[in-house]
Amino acid sequence: MVSEKSHVDSQQEPRQEEPETGLLNMPARRGPRSLPPIPSASRTGFAEFSMRERMREKLQAARSKAESALLQEIPTPRPRRLRSPKERESETEFGTEPGKEVQSIQQKDDAQIYSRVKFREQKIKSKPQAPPGFPSAEEAYNFFTFNFDPEPEESEEKTKMKARDGTSQEEEAGEEEEPPVRGGSKTDEEGLLNGKDAEDFLLGLEHMANDFVAVRPADYESVHVWLQKEKEILFIPSRLTVPTYKKLPENVQPRFLEDEGLYIGARPEVAPTNQNIMENRLLVQEPRNDFGPSARSQGRRWFGDDGRILALPSPIRPFPCRPLLSTREQSTKAELETLYRKAVKYVHSSKHMVGSGDPPGNFQLDIDISGLLFTHHPCFSREHVLAAKLAQLYDQYLARQQRNKAKFLTDKLQALRNAVQASLSPETPQQSLDTNQKTIKEYKYEIRQTRKLRDAEQEKDRNLLKTLIKVWKEMKSLREFQRFTNTPLKLVLRKEKFDQKADEEAYEAEIQAEINELLEEHTEEYEQKMEEYRASYQQWKAWKKAQRAKKRKKKEAAEEHPEEEAEEAPPGEEPVKPVPPEPTDPGELEQKVRERAAHSRRRPGEPLLLPELSLAGSVTPNEQCPRVEVLRREDVRRRCVYLKVLFNNKEVSRTVSRQLGADFRVHFGQIFNLQIFNWPESLTLQVYETIGHSSTTLLAEVFLPIPETTVVTGRAPIEEVEFSSNQHVTLDHEGVGSGVPFSFEADGSNQLTLMTSGKVSHSVAWAVGENGIPLIPPLSQQNIGFRSALKRADAISSIGTSGLTDMKKLAKWAAESKLDPNDPNNAPLMQLISVATSGESYVPDFFRLEQLQQEFNFVSDEELNRSKRFRLLCLRSQEVPEFRNYKQIPVYDREIMEKIFQEYEKRLRDRNVIETKDHIDTHRAIVAKYLQQVRDSVINRFLVAKHHFLLTDLVVEEEVPNISILGLSLFKLAEQKRPLRPRRKGRKKVTAQNLSDGDIKLLVNIVRAYDIPVRKPPASKFQPPSRSARAFSEKHVASPSTHSPAHSPDYALGQVLVRPFVEVSFQRTICHTTTAEGPNPSWNEELELPFRAPNGDYSTASLQSVKDDVFINIFDEVLYDVSEDDRERGSGIHTRIERHWLGCVKIPFSTIYFQARIDGTFKIDIPPVLLGYSKERNMILERGFDSVRSLSEGSYITLFITIEPQLVPGESVREKLSMLKKFESQEDEKLLQATEKFQAECALKFPNRQCLTTVIDISGKTVFVTRYLKPLNPPKELLNAYPSNPQATAELVARYVSLIPFLPDTVSFASICDLWSTSDQFLDLLAGDEEEHAVLLCNYFLFLGKKAWLVMGNAIPEGPTAYVLTWEQNHYLIWNPCSGHFYGQFDTFCPLKSVGCLIGPDNIWFNIQQYDSPLRINFDVTKPKLWKSFFSRSLPYPGLSSVQPEELIYQRTDKAAAAELQDRIEKILKEKIMDWRPRHLTRWNRYCTSTLRHFLPLLERSQGEDVEDDHRAELLKQLGDYRFSGFPLHMPYSEVKPLIEAVYSTGVHNIDVPNVEFALAVYIHPYPKNVLSVWIYVASLIRNR
Amino acid sequence: MAAASPSVFLLMVNGQVESAQFPEYDDLYCKYCFVYGQDWAPTAGLEEGISQITSKSQDVRRVLVWNFPIDVTFKSTNPYGWPQIVLSVYGPDVFGNDVVRGYGAVHVPFSPGRHKRTIPMFVPESTSKLQKFTSWFMGRRPEYTDPKVVAQGEGREVTRVRSQGFVTLLFNVVTKDMRKLGYDTGPVDTQGPSLP
């Protein structure tokens, strides 16, 4: 806080001294400040001192006084940030500490700054609202953060004044001192800066940071103050209209060019307020910006003569338009060339008819024909001729009188003269002299011109009057001569008298003025001539001299050309003479002028003659006329006239026939309303005349203009159209005829020939409808209609439409036709032309679709196609399988191997070539090919669908919960965050996208196994085994002393029968458990296998198509003692571990992926014959206490398999596709709706149960599922095998079906959908998944007369699958179609775990029982409470036809081919086994092989059962001295590869006993339709010694 | 290896997720990851990261400052699939559930140098008012299945989004061999000596 208030008290004297010393003393001085005024202290202090406020105020007042004095010493350049730091708080400080002595000891150097500070305070103090209280935190903050601006000096003064007002009287006392002091301060300023050490000042600054931490209240400035300030700073132009005089130079009237007839384009529309603001701003700001003398006019240059802001005409076209499309003239491609054909106008639609698109043509044209007047007619008498002439002249006179041009010109002349006078007078200073001269000159010239015009006009007037009078005189004389009057015309001349004197004066003045002007003119001319003369004279003189010189020369030389001289002389002599007749001029001129005036002008005093023509005269009645005249009159009376109205050259109406009047006028007064349908092209009146009852003659045609759209009835003026006819008529009476010469003179001279002519007075206008709408066709059409009429003026019609795009043509046309640039009609055109011509912009005469394409082509297309890199990129973006996930395409072509494409190209090439290399028989090759093609097409379809996203694909959103869930979640809110008894939470699912190799693991938990085959005790052998061959383990476990086989009972009971362990292999990674003991081992071990997606692509689609299987092999670990000698036994153990394959479980990865976890007990696939092992023993042993288990034959293993982390299984695309309606169907629409309804209902009740109503067939169509079920005949051989035993037949059939290779759809089609093939397709393809097997099996059973259904449900390990259910006499059997096994309904080891629905040939039943396990449900589908049927009474079965064939046809399989295949497979397998043992010699025991080969057919016949004992016996007999381990494998045949895999997985080859021998036999049993059952017998033999 | 003819170019990006402006929310953290094309491979640095939780600054600006560093280097043979940084910002809602507050993406600047980018953030909208209410109530706002979808155009037409705020990123970009491979991205004047 600012504590230094000392200066308040301190006097000026000490301060004056101290600045000099201060620098050094300062630190020392600081020290003494023993009571530093800490803010907190000061606050408390303040609290104490609050009562002293009064006193403080006084002090303040005093202080401020002192301050003002101090102000002088403040150097002017003030540091910014010090400016306004403390306002209020410092003040409080002042108040608190004044009494303290300590402060009075102050640093001088600070003083300056403080004074400044205080000064600020003073200012603030003046504000009444600020309390003198504590500094708040905010104030302190403000202090540090505010940016203080320097205040201008003047304001300080002001504020000072204010402050003074507010302060106490004490201050007032000091006030007097102030002014002088301040005056001094100003002068001192510089001195202070230099003299008073700047260092001091700087030091002061340093202190500031510490000392000036002041807290003060926030500034508040009231709105009014703000507004005030803003007003000072901001300039807001007024919105009021600016008076015109401000915008124009003084004393200038606004000039409106428009009124003067110049065309000004339409101004763009601007809101008047905006315009006003702009104007105001311009007026105020412009002068401010440039402080010139012409500032005011600078501002005005923005305004036009009319006082408005200058503006270009609005560039917006009034109507939208589109550029014309025209193709390039020289198109290279012929197809694109445009043939030009002249447009054929469709006359009716566009030209004549009012457009059909318009409101029904209710247009009307009103033609008013008021009358007809003949200006000449054959029946005219001579008097009539004169009368007509007179009338014509009078009309002319009247017209002239109306225009009164002479008067106008006289006035103009007068004005000009005045102007000249004015400009000649000295008081026009603003214009410079020479401009003045110039204008005067111009004026004079104009005066001359005007005078000439006026004279001509006056003369004409006078002449007209004269002729008028002359004709009238002639007429009068004619009347007198013929002694009758034919016409009522009468001319009266009115005289208007003038004041003689005034008139004379005016006349004289006029003449004088004229004379003067002429004189001036002449003098001017004269001077000019003199000038010329002088010049020429000079020339002449020079020439003369030269001439003379020449002459002399010539004379001297030769005098041959005297003529030449003479010729040359005249030009030189001419200018010599013209001395103008100056003195004679005035008189002559005057005379001339007077003469002219007399000629053309009314003489002074002469009355002004005003002719007046009237029809007041009387016509002589017939009786008094001569016969010829009477005849004529009669003739006239006989004549009738009528008019025909022709619209578009068609007569539309005619007037009544009227008699010709004596005055040759016909009055019609008829109005014709033409309802227009066709477009008005022409409007014609034909004048017909009939004489008596004889024929009518066409006198003339009158063409009427079609009115403009603005002309409507009521506003149209009556117009007169003249017509004339060229007929020749000679009459035998007084009538002068027509086209015949006649004369007024008696002698026949001065002949006249007049033609029949006349005028029609009419008006044509558009009618107005009842509601005031003019019945005019729209303008757009009118343009077309007016084409003929406006041809000259209309640019489009005269140069053609194409001309509009060609600016040059247009400009040319504009120049030629002399368009009036000031005509508003032409404004857009003129603008266009000016833009086009001035800008010199090149308008191409073609339109290019892909502009700049050429510029973007950086290489030619061929080159681009040749680029390997480009091709690679293309293929990748097309998602071609080979390149779909290709990464890091090389930068350069050269780095791309040609090899990459080879495979792809080969595939393309081989698409139709069948290759038999991989597939041993051709049929399978074809099938494989076909499957591949189906797969490709489906995948392509899938890829399309994959790029179609649904919201759920992108956004995870909670579904709207129903009320119960909502309620539950409400409870959940109240739940504890960390409950004491935590509950299991579901694993978080991971989307497969952001995964990489190693992230995913397969967890296999091997729990236990049951009924593992046990080793057959050697005791059962007839041959005593050698000692060394005894199993080490056996010996080990049994009492070591009993080696003898005689102890077989003990041995059987006491020893470990088997030491099984489990080996899991997946993707060539192998893990195995520890070894357990006994036939019912329990491992409870978790194995972790890494999972690697193909190509590192962890997308859902890719994962779905993983074809790898998890192999779970059970081995028996056998330890053999290899010690050669018994004596060594004591010292060392030499054992060899052998593993004997016992069986395997194979689970496809896709199943795990879709199921997320697999949990259950699986039957181990154990070969029918396991040499050296048996189950019987086991069973005998255990039968007693474990009879239940023995019900099922075979061994079981309990497993739990899952993927860590859990993957979100890709939803089958089927739903998506069906949602997209990608698959069409031939089913009835109603049926499809019913299926949807049914499924929805089922899903509502039991969302987990599978309900199937429609499936997709192999061509991608939706088919109702029952259509697949139909009795179908199994192969005859199978039926004939056991004719009497239906059960055996059924089993055989099931076996046959299971021999068809299994190929899951999900793998082949990347889980796109289940495609159901019909049974014949299935048999042709020889591959299918559960559904196909089940359908076929079910169909066979139906054929066999069983009641059979398709069961849709869940099984392990397959997941959702299809089984077959049959009804035997009194129980149900469940058949696994893929393995051929069957189970009773209550078999606990039945792999089918849940039943969703049953499908029969004519109905579908959905399981609506409480349970879905086959053990607990009732399969009686007739009970509607248990089974919901699809077809019911409400929806009866419509009798759907089956999609299956009528009958299956089976070809016998070629046995020879099977035998050949058998040999080949055997050979391949043998090679493979040798390959797998690269480090060992593989010997084949041929003898054993042949034995095995014989044995295999037996196995086939017995289906692998009940042969073991015989077989064993036989083997033992033959291979007595070999230890033998081996087993037959049985598989359906699809390809070689699975066979190899199977053999490999048994691990037979892993035996590395040196003297091992192998035996391998293959047997293929052919079934009809190329179904092959493959048996592979693998064995290893070790010779016993 | 011949420096004259490199087979890849390198793009080094470092910088930071500086700050964000989310007027309605506080205590946010953000995740970033890079999305790039098939021809790109990260060679060094971190492809993704998750920042600390930050609170609003107490001054008037009310910004959420993370200053969370980014440092990654890519190599590539093809500018197609140029890396984009995808940001997703999360924060607690009224009930304390972590919900997403914004997604946003921007391409890493092409030209070398220092670049500041402010990207608008948005979240997918619920499909209905009821959904909106329940999702608010349950604290399970709609989210993208994968934040990376905001870096691609495919399938975006099915979503509706609402804007949420802004995130400011700072990139320092260094490229190597781009010019040698014929990709000229830098401004003309800052180019080094041009090759013969």
What would the pLDDT profile of A65-83 be if each residue is shown by its tens digit?
655 555 554 444 444 444 4
Higher-scoring residue by pLDDT: B9, A503: B9
Between CA A1243 and CA A1238 the distance in angstroms is: 8
pLDDT at A802 over 80: no
pLDDT tens-place string over residues B23-43: 888 999 999 999 998 889 999
Mean pLDDT over A1112-1130 rounds to 72
CB contacts of A949 in chain B (<8 Å) are 154-155, 157-158
Q: What is the dihedral of CA A690, A696, A697, A700, to 10 degrees?
A: 70
Q: Is A874 on the interface with B (CB under 8 A)?
A: no
Q: Which of A875, A803, A1582 is nearest to A1171 (CA)?
A: A1582
CA A1137 to chain centre: 74
Residue A828's contacts (CB-CB under 8 Å, 6 or more residues apart) are A317, A318
With pLDDT > 90 as the criterion, what percentage of chain A qualifies?
0
3-state SS class at A1298: helix
In this predicted model, which residue has the larger pLDDT, A69 or A473? A473
Q: Any CB–CB contact under 8 A between A955 and chain B?
A: yes
Cβ B134–A949 below 8 Å, yes or no?
A: no
Average pLDDT value for residue range A1389-1408: 86
User: Looking at residue B17, what is its pLDDT?
Assistant: 94
Question: Between the CA of residue A637 and those of A347, A442, A661, A727, what are the distances in Å?
Answer: 46, 64, 7, 20
Asked if pLDDT for residue A524 goes beyond 70, the answer is yes
Question: How confident is the model over A597-606, as a mean pLDDT?
Answer: 68
- Mean pLDDT score of chain A, rounded to an integer? 70
Q: A888 at the B interface (CB within 8 A)?
A: yes
Pick from A410-414, A1078-1082, B41-45 the range whose average pLDDT is largest: B41-45
- How far is A1032 from A1120, CA to CA, in rounded Å? 5
Q: Is the model more confident about A296 or about A1410?
A: A1410
Three-state secondary-structure class, residue A1434? coil
Spatial separation of the C-alpha atoms in residues A763 and A777, rounded to whole Å = 19
Chain A residues with beta carbon closer than 8 angstroms to that of B38: 876, 885-889
CA dihedral sign, ordered B174, B178, B179, B185? negative
The secondary structure of residue A78, as a DSSP letter, is -
- Chain A residues in contact with B156 by the CB 8 A cut-off are 954
Residues of B in contact with A953 (CB under 8 A): 145, 155, 158
Task: Collect all residues with Cβ–Cβ distance below 8 Å to A514 and sequence separation of at least 6.
Answer: A451, A593, A597
- Mean pLDDT, range A1501-1529, rounded to an integer: 70
Helices A899-909 and A868-877 sit at what angle, rounded to 10 degrees?
60
Give the separation between CA A655 and CA A642, rounded to whole angstroms: 6
- Inter-chain touch A958–B144, beta carbons under 8 Å: no
- CA–CA gap between residue A1416 and residue A1410 (Å, rounded): 9
User: pLDDT tier at A627 (50, 70, 90 boundaries)?
Assistant: confident
In chain A, what percentage of residues exceed pLDDT 70? 61
Q: Which of residues 958-977 of A touch B (CB under 8 A)?
A: 958, 960-961, 966, 969, 973
Cα–Cα distance, A167 to A68 (Å, whole number): 13
Categorize the per-residue pLDDT at B21 as very low, low, confident or very high, splitting at 50, 70 and 90: very high
Of the candidates B91, B128, B31, B157, which has an alpha carbon nearest to the alpha carbon of residue A957?
A: B128
pLDDT of residue A844: 57
CB A92 within 8 A of CB A139: no
- Count the Cβ atoms, other than its own, within 10 Å of residue A1410: 9
Closest chain A residue to B39 measured between Cα atoms? A888
For residues A941 and A1456, the model is more confident at A1456
pLDDT at B18: 93
Mean local confidence (pLDDT), B18-22: 92
Helix, strand, coil percent values for chain B (each to nearest 5): 10, 50, 40
Q: What is the mean pLDDT of residues A421-437?
A: 63
Compute how many other C-beta atoms are within 10 angstroms of the C-beta atom of residue A999.
15
Kindly identify which residue of chain A lies nearest to residue B95, measuring between CA atoms: A973
For the segment A1348-1371, the average pLDDT, to the nearest whole number, is 83
- Domain B7-179 class, CATH top level: mainly beta
A205: Cα separation from own chain's centroid: 62
Interval A757-778 mean pLDDT: 75
According to the model, what pLDDT value does residue A1447 have?
82
Encode pLDDT of A877-922 as tens digits.
887 777 777 778 888 888 888 787 887 888 777 665 555 554 556 6
- A930-987 residue pLDDT tens: 777 776 776 676 667 667 777 777 888 777 666 666 666 667 666 666 667 766 766 6
Say which residue, A16 or B65, is predicted with more confidence.
Answer: B65
Burial A601-611 (b: 16+ CB within 10 A, else e): bbebeeeeeeb
Q: Please name the amino acid found at residue A669.
A: G
**Does the beta-carbon distance from A890 to B7 stay under 8 Å?**
yes
| CB-side neighbour CA atoms (13 Å) of A210 | 10
Among A811-815, A1188-1192, A1530-1534, the range with the most confident prediction by mean pLDDT is A1530-1534
CA–CA dist A406, A396 (Å, integer): 15
- C-beta of residue A1195 within 8 angstroms of C-beta of residue A1009: yes
Query: DSSP assignment of A1194-1236, as one string?
Result: S-EEEEEEEEESPB-PPPPHHHHHHHHT-S-B-S-HHHHHHHH
Return the top range by mean pLDDT from A308-317, A645-654, A1564-1573, B8-17. B8-17
pLDDT-derived band at A1036 (thresholds 50, 70, 90) equals very low
A955 with B155: Cβ contact below 8 A: no
End-to-end CA distance of chain B: 20
> Does the pLDDT of residue A817 top 50, yes or no?
yes
Q: Is A145 on the interface with B (CB under 8 A)?
A: no
CB contact under 8 A, B77 and A891: yes
Question: At residue A1290, does pLDDT exceed 60?
Answer: yes
B81: nearest CA in chain A?
Answer: A888
Give the residue from A946, A952, A958, A999 with the most B CB atoms within 10 Å of its CB, the best one to mutate. A958
Question: What is the average per-residue pLDDT within A222-246?
Answer: 83
Average pLDDT over residues A727-739: 73
Q: Per residue, what are the HEC states of A1059-1096? A: CEEEEEEECCEEEECCCCCCCCCEEEEEEEEECCCHHH
Return d(Cα A1254, Cα A1263) in angstroms, integer.
5
Q: Which of A248-262, A273-287, A1480-1494 has the lowest mean pLDDT?
A: A248-262
Give pLDDT, residue A555: 64
In this predicted structure, the answer to whether residue A174 has a pLDDT above a threshold of 90 is no
Is there a contact between A734 and A742 (Cβ–Cβ < 8 Å)? no
Span A647-700, pLDDT tens digits: 877 888 888 888 877 777 788 888 888 777 666 777 888 888 887 777 777 878
Average pLDDT over residues A308-336: 68
Each residue of A1305-1316: b (16+ CB within 10 Å) or e?
A: bbbbbbbbbbbb
Interface test with A, best of B77, B126, B152, B161 (most A CBs within 10 A): B77
A961-965, A1122-1126, A1319-1323, B103-107: which range is least confident on average? A1122-1126
Which residues of B, range 93-122, sit inside 8 Å of A by Cβ?
A: 95
B39/A954 touch (CB, cutoff 8 Å), yes or no: no
Closest CB to A957 among B39, B40, B142: B142
From CA A802, how far away is CA A572, in angstroms rounded? Answer: 63
Which whole number is the average pLDDT over B147-175? 90
Give A425's pLDDT tier (boundaries 50, 70, 90): low
Distance from the Cα of residue A1340 to its chain's centroid: 61
Please write down the HEC assignment for all residues of A302-348: CECCCCCECCCCCCCCCCCCCCCCCCCCCCCCHHHCCCCCCCCCCHH
3-state SS assignment for residue A925: helix
Highest mean pLDDT: which range of A41-55, A270-284, A1147-1161, B79-93: B79-93
Q: What is the mean pLDDT of residues A1472-1490?
A: 83
Q: Cβ separation of B154 and A958 shorter than 8 Å?
A: no
Give CA separation, A1124 vs A1028, A1029, A1121, A1134, B133, in Å: 8, 11, 9, 9, 83
CA distance A1205 to A42: 69
Site from A873, A874, A876, A955 to mutate, B interface, most B CB atoms within 10 angstroms: A955
Report how far residue A1301's alpha carbon sits from residue A1305's, in angstroms, rounded to the nearest whole number: 12
Span A1311-1329, average pLDDT: 73
Q: Between B6, B126, B149, which is nearest A954 by CB?
A: B149
pLDDT at A182: 44
Chains A & B: contacts with CB separation below 8 Å:
91
- Is 60 exceeded by the pLDDT of residue A837? no
At A1176, the pLDDT band (50, 70, 90 cuts) reads low
Inter-chain touch A954–B159, beta carbons under 8 Å? yes
> Between A1551 and A52, where is the model more confident?
A1551
pLDDT at residue A623, as a whole number: 75
Distance CA A1090, CA A1071 (A): 10
| Element of type H or E holding A446 | helix A433-482
pLDDT (tens digit, 9 = 90+) per residue, B49-73?
999 999 998 888 889 999 999 999 9
Provide long-range contacts, Cβ within 8 A and 24+ apart, for B127-131.
B127/A951, B127/A957, B128/A960, B130/A960, B131/A957, B131/A958, B131/A960
CA–CA distance, A1027 with A1120 (Å, rounded to integer): 11
pLDDT at res. A132: 52
With 70 as the cut, is the pLDDT of residue A325 above it? no
Q: Report the C-alpha gap between A701 and B101 in whole angstroms.
A: 89
Please report the pLDDT score of residue A1360 as a whole number. 76
Q: Name the minimum distance, in Å, from the CA of A957 to any CA of chain B.
A: 4
Residue A104, pLDDT above cutoff 80:
no
